[in-house]
Amino acid sequence: MFTLKYDSFDKIKNSIIARVILFACVMILIGGLTRYYLSVNTIHSNLFKIISIHQEALANEAAKEITHDIDVRKTLLSHIASRMPLGLLESPSQLQRWLGELHGFNPLFSSALFVLNEEGSLIAGTGSELLEGEKAYASDDFFKRAFTHEFVIGTLKVSKRLNEPVLSMAMPIKDALGHVRAIVVGMTYYDATFFNRVLNGRIGKTGGFLLIDAKQQIFIAAANKELILKPTPPKGKNLLHDKALEGFRGSDITINTDGIEELSAIASIPNTDWFVVSRIQTKEAFAMEGNIKTTLIQAHIISLIIAPTILFLFLFFFFRPLRTSASLANKMSLGEVPLKPLPIKRMDEVGYLTVAFNRLMAMLLASQKELKEIAHYDYLTKLPNRFLMVDRLEQALARCARNNTHVALFFMDLDGFKAINDSLGHSAGDEALVEVAKRFSALIRESDTLARVGGDEFVMVLSDLDSDLASATNAAHLVARKCIEALKEPFLFQGNAKILGVSIGMAMGDKESRVDTLIVEADTKMYKAKNAIHSNFTE
């Protein structure tokens, strides 16, 4: 008897509840990891977009302020250049007073405001950063460009007097014919009214602004005053800075020269080679992302605890009837209790399964005898199959030993059967086999056996033949000829007449014979008969 024994671990390991809960945990874990990955990526992407927009807005706002600071000074210089009487160029004292009054009314240039003649010598001016003397400014490249351009912004320099950065701007003074007669120059210190956003603006705790001259590759202004007038990082130290020098404008993440990751945005200053950088460390910019990640992980851990617990309680009570039925069925299979229908608690899927099991058990008990018989008969012709034929042959040989009689064994193979199958189909072939079985059955006694052992192969066992071998052989020959004659009458299939033949191999047995030997002998003779030209019967 086949039995199964389980210890506690095996019961848990093989339990449907355990597997379902494990599957649920795996699915929750996979789902959680997927949601976490997608959520983090989406959150990071959206945060990057939002913060980038904010940084770009700050950079553009700072650029607008710087542009405004330059434009108001450019407007003042333009006003001076266009309104100043050219006669004042010949009267330095009057020009000095005129500039002083104008500068006192609108003091945009905190360092100096002055006028230079064509030779680069100071005519008149006001402020602390004035160089007096003949052709004091003549060698300055800024001075040379001022005479050939409408408006010039000079290179940032450090004041010799106050040791402060000072920025120069200049515009030519022209006569009615458009000839340059002089230039007006304004110089500005960095103070609360100039580059204020870049110098003093902060972005969070770690961020700020930079103003960079792309042509000179120096820092013009920065919240960190130590950077002013210092060269920008060499190529390769800050990849985003390298892109900015090549013309990139927008925002991206980069690693600065200190090895700190930053989110930076870049905006140009119109009509200059300058650009503004608003920057903030990504650690601060994306601080919210860390909180969201922590919250997602906590939520997934909680769901990984709560969901399997609830599922376990549900499945434990849901499968209680199934566990009861399984336990009872196991005891019945072990013979510990008699066979009886399993109890039905409720008509759900488990109830339907129990009803089906009970019905199946009743059917199996009722058809047990029938199944045993079916196992020994051919399903199509209802003749005995090979297993039952062998059993009958063994019984016939046993009677030969008791009664000193003989037995004849025929192996018969139909001739022309394949043509019927191929031309008329398998249904016609089945009809032919049934008809052949009927014709052969009519030729034998009740004590004899006719069996179908293959597709178109039949075996006939003639038992209890005469003790005299010659007489028994003659009787067997007579039956063989009858079998051949029985198939000469045409078979009708779907209006078509077909002729079948049969090749027969015969073996005679007595009390000394063995089943295997007889079968091999008859089978061999049958193949010889099938291959013979003038005979389809071999004894």
DSSP codes, 222-265: ESSGGGTTPBPPPTTS-HHHHHHHTT--EEEEEE-TTS-EEEEE
Choosing from 140, 413, 448, 456, which is the catalytic residue?
Answer: 456
Secondary structure class of 270 (helix, strand, coil): coil
Instruction: Look at the alpha carbons of 178, 179, 181, 184 in this order and tell me if their dihedral is positive or negative.
Output: positive
- As a dihedral over the C-alpha atoms of residue 188, residue 191, residue 194, residue 198, rounded to 10 degrees, the angle is 130
Q: Indicate the burial class of 94 (C-beta count within 10 angstroms; 0-12, 13-18, 19 or more).
A: middle
Q: Which residue has the tokens 């020994």?
A: 376
DSSP codes, 410-443: EEEEEESHHHHHHHH-HHHHHHHHHHHHHHHHTT
Q: How far apart are CA 92 and CA 81, in angstroms?
A: 16
**Bridge partners of residue 253, in order along the sequence:** 263
First to last CA, the chain: 48
Cβ neighbors of 271 (< 8 A, separation 6 or more) are: none
Strands (E), 55-190: 112-117, 122-127, 152-153, 157-158, 165-174, 180-189
Q: Is residue 430 annotated as a catalytic residue, yes or no?
A: no
Tell me the pairing of strands 406-415 and 501-509: antiparallel
Contact 173, 184 (CB under 8 A): yes
Active site members: 456
